[in-house]
A and B are shown apart, each in its own frame.
Chain A
Amino acid sequence: MSEAFFILSILLLAAASGLSILSLHGDSDRFHAHARRSFYLAGAFFLASGAVRYYPFALRDFVRIASTIWGHFYILALLLFLILAYIDLFRWSAHWRAVAAVALPFITVVCALFLPFLGSDRVMEVGLANHLLPFHVIFSFMGQLFFFFSFTGSLLGIFLENRLRRRSSLRSIQNFPSLEAIDAFIGWSLKRAAAFLAVGIVSGVALVWINYGRVFLFSFKETVIYVSLFFIALLLYLRRDGRLGMMKLNAMNAALFGAVLAMYIASNVILSSGFHSFR
């Protein structure tokens, strides 16, 4: 049942992605309404797939779930769903249409990539008996996901600025937020990314200290988090400095997130057999 719900969720996400791209490009409010509906329905099926698999759930089960390859992914995707829903329901609701057109295809690809691991019983050997682990995982994920949303904003900004510079018709950018709104969204995402990653790193350091008496284990995962925080801090500094124009800042944001994504894939998938931490 959990598998069926998950596959349904992916199908709906794919539909929502297509519709949200059409709604942005095709100037139709109907596509936008259908995209939202499909996204929330996909979210409901995604929650149902987790509920069926993990019921009854208690907080102490978190480490067990997070240490399975499927559970690890489930938490990541769940947070993605929640942040995108938050963007829609709260401050950025007017710009969800544009953000979703970039974010939804990404979420769909992430979910589809995990299809082969649906029934997998591979488990990460955590060995960290500490209550800080759930906080560390969630805060680090949140930090990376907000970094991802700043990346989506940058892609939108690059596209919009490019269209404005080419002096093309309003039709292709009719449903885009203004450049200033996109810039504000990027700033909002980066600040949250920095805050969550900082808390994630502090809890991670405490965790490693308690268990190993050290502050750094020289693992790829730790390196990726530190590099991410450095990149985000650099972007925030350059934004504040104001010497670089919006276009350059957006290009840099996109490139740095791309680098972090490449490092994540390299450290988790390529350097050993797929998701080597899970045995």
Chain B
Amino acid sequence: MGDAADIREVFLAGISHKTAPVELRERFSFDADRARLFMERAAARGIEEIVYVSTCNRVEVYAAAADARRAVAALTEILGDFSGVPSSESEGAVYRKYSREAVKHLLSVASSLDSMVVGENEILGQLRECFRAAVREKKTGPVLNKLFHQAFRTAKRVRTETGIARNPLSIAFIAVEMARKIFEDLAKRRALLVGAGEMGELILRYLTKHCIGEMVIANRSLGNAERIAREIRPDARIIPLEDAASAAREADIIVTSVSARDFVFTAPAAREIMKRRGAKPLFIIDIAVPRNIDPAVAELAGIFLYNIDDLKTIAEENHKSRMGEVEMASRLVEADSLEFMEWYEGLAAVPAINRIQIQFEEIRRRELDRYRKKRLKHLSDEDFGIVADLTNQIMTKTLHNPITHLKKIAGSSRGHRGGRSIEDAVRIIMEMFEK
């Protein structure tokens, strides 16, 4: 960075689920090769740093350039070329943010505050991947490197210091979390899936992810059950639907999603099962509509029965609880974006600080040489080294306050983009030390 005027400004242009439908978003979504070409073209147009971010809910381009307004115009043009979407069509959907707004936006996106499902975990991994791709292509520099690392740190803070990601929203995940509140170790438990519906399959995936000990699938079509087992749990035992009642006697978790007019399990049958189980609890998830399990089963001691509406209600409550954490998370994002802006605004003072340091260093060297030749020539090299260190320390300490002050001026003058205050301050400091 040669001069204060060359300091790169951070900005972004993008569309998201909040501003554009999927039909428009998908046209801005480029594969890896095309994204690389896009960044190449942007670099050729004078955009010094660029990261192209594409997820299912957003396409955003983060960049840093000396002249942000001109760079945004260039970027819009290139985006139009690559997507084939004329600017008249995308204009209302594309948002542009500069400096602090852009920084805050990235930190919010990384922290999943701007996601369709607030608190979801995928976005951070996707951002990391997009950033890595830009780093591989050498399209990032000091500003975006620092900004993205700050965003990853903030996202981690938001996840650990708030409860935003704690309570699950997916029905299948809630079902498994409930099972984990009943059973200590799922690896020692047996699950029975009755009916191989889509939701049941999803629950089976989650149970497998949490290392369920044994899995039995009861289905009308054995072929379909075998396909699911092959894909998710190859060692699952497949049984015909008629054998589900006897398999239920050995199961700790039962998931039912079979289409049937009558109850698959009635209260007397469940009572029989519980007699054999003693005090051991039984967890039943009935996601079928109409329901497969007699509601009276829920009254039996040791049985925890959840139907699809129960799980949906919990998901809604969890969503409310996540939204309650948004305010705290936003405060963290605000604080971290301020911290980044302090560093970023301090960059404006770097050329001036360099000039001052070089000038003072020249004076120090000159004077040291003069003394070395005359009044300090009797000193050994070691002793002279100590004197040199001493002068260096004095210089560093003398310059500490003016440099800190310059950084503050840089921060306050950046808002009106003049840079005059820094120049004035540097001139005043120099005049004070000149003959």
Of A79-87, A102-110, A118-126, A169-177, the segment with at least 4 beta carbons within 8 Å of chain B is A169-177
Q: Is A127 an interface residue (CB 8 A)?
A: no
Residues of A within 8 A of B302 (CB): 245-247
- Interface contact A170-B181, CB-CB below 8 Å: yes
- Interface contact B182-A164, CB-CB below 8 Å: yes
- Interface contact B278-A170, CB-CB below 8 Å: no
Q: Is B89 an interface residue (CB 8 A)?
A: no
B56-69 CB mask vs A (1 if < 8 Å, else 0) is 00000000000000
Q: Which of B279, B306, B318 contacts A167 (CB 8 A)?
A: B306
Q: Is A184 an interface residue (CB 8 A)?
A: yes
Q: Is B183 an interface residue (CB 8 A)?
A: yes
Q: Is A179 an interface residue (CB 8 A)?
A: yes
**Given A168-B314, A169-B317, are A239 and B279 also a contact pair (CB < 8 Å)?**
yes
- Interface contact B167-A246, CB-CB below 8 Å: no
- Interface contact A176-B181, CB-CB below 8 Å: yes
Give Cα A176–Cα B182 distance, bound, in whole angstroms: 10
A145-184 CB mask vs B (1 if < 8 Å, else 0) is 0000000000000001000110111110110111111011
Residues of A within 8 A of B304 (CB): 164-165
Give Cα A98–Cα B313 distance, bound, in whole angstroms: 26
CB closest chain-B residue, reference A164? B304
| Count of inter-chain pairs, beta carbons less than 8 A | 78
- Interface contact B174-A180, CB-CB below 8 Å: no
Give Cα A148–Cα B279 distance, bound, in whole angstroms: 22
Residues of A within 8 A of B301 (CB): 245-248
Residues of B within 8 A of A165 (CB): 298, 304
Q: Is A243 an interface residue (CB 8 A)?
A: yes
- Interface contact B278-A242, CB-CB below 8 Å: yes
- Interface contact B310-A167, CB-CB below 8 Å: yes
Shortest distance in angstroms between A247's beta carbon and chain B's nearest beta carbon?
Answer: 6
**Given A178-B183, A179-B181, A245-B301, are A170 and B168 also a contact pair (CB < 8 Å)?**
yes
Give Cα A155–Cα B181 distance, bound, in whole angstroms: 16
Shortest distance in angstroms between B176's beta carbon and chain A's nearest beta carbon?
Answer: 11
Q: Is B146 an interface residue (CB 8 A)?
A: no
Give Cα A248–Cα B301 distance, bound, in whole angstroms: 9
Residues of B within 8 A of A242 (CB): 278-280
Q: Is A249 an interface residue (CB 8 A)?
A: yes
B295-319 CB mask vs A (1 if < 8 Å, else 0) is 0001001101010001001100110
- Interface contact B166-A169, CB-CB below 8 Å: no
Residues of B within 8 A of A245 (CB): 279, 301-302
Give Cα A148–Cα B431 distance, bound, in whole angstroms: 79
CB closest chain-A residue, reference B304? A164
Residues of A within 8 A of B141 (CB): none
Q: Which of B278, B280, B317 contacts A168 (CB 8 A)?
A: B317
- Interface contact A169-B321, CB-CB below 8 Å: yes
- Interface contact B318-A170, CB-CB below 8 Å: yes
- Interface contact A243-B321, CB-CB below 8 Å: no
**Given A164-B181, A165-B304, A245-B302, are A170 and B279 also a contact pair (CB < 8 Å)?**
no
Give Cα A168–Cα B178 distance, bound, in whole angstroms: 10
Q: Is A222 an interface residue (CB 8 A)?
A: no
Given A164-B181, A170-B318, A245-B302, 14 more pairs with CB closer than 8 A: A27-B163, A27-B166, A164-B178, A167-B306, A169-B321, A170-B167, A170-B178, A178-B183, A180-B182, A184-B184, A241-B278, A242-B278, A244-B279, A249-B279
- Can you list 29 residue pairs at the A/B interface with Cβ under 8 Å? A164-B178, A164-B182, A164-B304, A165-B298, A165-B304, A167-B310, A167-B314, A169-B321, A170-B167, A170-B168, A170-B318, A171-B167, A171-B317, A173-B181, A174-B166, A176-B181, A178-B183, A178-B184, A179-B182, A180-B184, A180-B281, A181-B184, A183-B279, A184-B184, A241-B278, A242-B278, A243-B278, A245-B302, A247-B302
Nearest 3 pairs of A and B residues by beta carbon: A242-B278, A245-B301, A169-B317
